[in-house]
Chain A
């Protein structure tokens, strides 16, 4: 990495720098026209991009979320309404001298639909904590292995834009996945490993005066993507 690249990376998040790092950066900017123009470019881009934050939220969004959240209560109310309806109709029919029609009416009404329980689609968790996978036979209706791998490719850091570099082995295991934040769930664990996996690590920034020489951590050599076995949706990525 050349000297400028290091300062250019520092310029990406100057507010994250320590005071000593700031001083070094300022000193460098005083004498480096190239990095100064990079800093100007970042500021200019920020000014251009900021108005994008003004997008107006659809008026229906909040109502749609809250009405779905409230659905279980609606279902309960619907259930009560149905019981009242059954009772009234049955009593009326019995009262009219039609003892056979009562149970028939009840049976017919029992097919009135409940309001469906809301279904939520699941996606990633922030946790990169330890996880466990308990191997299980693949039940019918599970996402296929090849499909799981192709979904994992879309999310894997090792495969930018779904393209896998050479010398990467792909393995897929099926089982019950769980970690500290995610419920146990049938899942495909797709692991990308081998010499082709080379996920860049933090460069550590500029060393502080008097600090021991920075040792670049080795790149990550394994990328694991967890895919929901039932829905095929992304659950988690673990880079190590």
Chain B
């Protein structure tokens, strides 16, 4: 088989998609999971959502479609929203009753921050996290959330005010 013939073979395509998936996971697996933990308030749900997001990314790569960081975050957040709506004892993302159990490395202050975030709506949590932790720019967040950059700025400003209130009560 010539090199030209090998390029188009399914195995070659699959291997390319697989290696690109691994590249994506090397770069975004940890930050995406950390975002989902804050959004969903549950490490297990966050893991499931991250897993399905990367599987969907692989499916796209197999079809030769591009996958970028905005795509990953957008898919992941919708997966998290759907996950909660499909639960039998339906608890919305807006009503996280419990925060993930603290990791040994987490400070008391970080646990208090998690608790304050849990009192906010998912919209506030996600915009705070994307802007202040992952440091995405307004147009990038706008793509992830499906809103205008101006609306991102408004939402972030209001989320800061509500976070201040929630954290102040700690």
Which residue numbers of A lie inside 8 Å of B, CB to CB? 5, 8-9, 11-13, 15-16, 41-42, 45-46, 48-58, 60-62, 64-66, 68-70, 72-73, 118, 120-126, 128, 151, 154-155, 157, 160-161, 181, 183, 199-204, 220, 233-234, 237, 239
Verify B121–A52 contact, CB threshold 8 A.
no
Query: Interface 1/0s, chain B 96-136, versus A by CB < 8 A?
Result: 00000001011101100110000001010000110111100
29 A–B contacts from the bound complex (CB under 8 Å): A9-B150, A9-B153, A12-B152, A45-B160, A45-B164, A49-B128, A49-B133, A51-B113, A52-B110, A54-B106, A57-B29, A61-B33, A61-B50, A61-B51, A62-B29, A66-B21, A72-B14, A118-B55, A120-B52, A122-B56, A123-B75, A123-B82, A161-B94, A161-B123, A183-B63, A199-B151, A202-B149, A203-B150, A239-B147
CB distance from B167 to the nearest CB of A (A): 7
For chain B, residues 79 to 104, give those with C-beta under 8 angstroms from any C-beta of chain A: 79, 81-82, 85, 92, 94, 103
Tell me the bound Cα distance from A64 to B90 in angstroms: 27
The residues of A that contact B18 with a CB separation of less than 8 Å are 66, 69-70
Tell me the bound Cα distance from A221 to B124 in angstroms: 24
For chain B, residues 39 to 71, give those with C-beta under 8 angstroms from any C-beta of chain A: 43, 46-47, 50-52, 54-56, 58-59, 63, 65, 68, 70-71
Verify A45–B163 contact, CB threshold 8 A.
yes
The residues of A that contact B75 with a CB separation of less than 8 Å are 123-124
Verify B137–A52 contact, CB threshold 8 A.
no
Q: Take A9-B153, A12-B156 as given contacts and tell me if A160 and B138 are in contact as well, using a CB distance cutoff of 8 Å.
A: no
CB distance from A198 to the nearest CB of B (A): 12
CB distance from A34 to the nearest CB of B (A): 13
The residues of A that contact B160 with a CB separation of less than 8 Å are 12, 41-42, 45
Q: Which 10 A-B pairs have the closest CB atoms?
A: A202-B150, A55-B34, A123-B78, A46-B132, A9-B153, A12-B156, A123-B75, A51-B110, A12-B153, A237-B146
CB distance from A58 to the nearest CB of B (A): 5
Verify B128–A45 contact, CB threshold 8 A.
yes
User: Chain B's interface: helix, strand, loop or mixed, by majority?
Assistant: helix
Q: Take A52-B110, A200-B154 as given contacts and tell me if A154 and B56 are in contact as well, using a CB distance cutoff of 8 Å.
A: no
Residue among A65, A72, A157, A183 making CB contact with B55, cutoff 8 Å? A65
Number of interface residues of B (CB under 8 A): 73
Tell me the bound Cα distance from A204 to B157 in angstroms: 16
Verify A121–B79 contact, CB threshold 8 A.
yes
In the assembled complex, B27 has its CB within 8 A of some CB on chain A: no
The residues of A that contact B74 with a CB separation of less than 8 Å are 123-126
Tell me the bound Cα distance from A50 to B113 in angstroms: 10
Q: Take A16-B138, A124-B75 as given contacts and tell me if A45 and B47 are in contact as well, using a CB distance cutoff of 8 Å.
A: no
- B82 and chain A: residue at smallest CB distance: A233
Q: Take A65-B21, A69-B18, A200-B154 as given contacts and tell me if A49 and B129 are in contact as well, using a CB distance cutoff of 8 Å.
A: yes
Verify A57–B109 contact, CB threshold 8 A.
no
The residues of B that contact A122 with a CB separation of less than 8 Å are 56
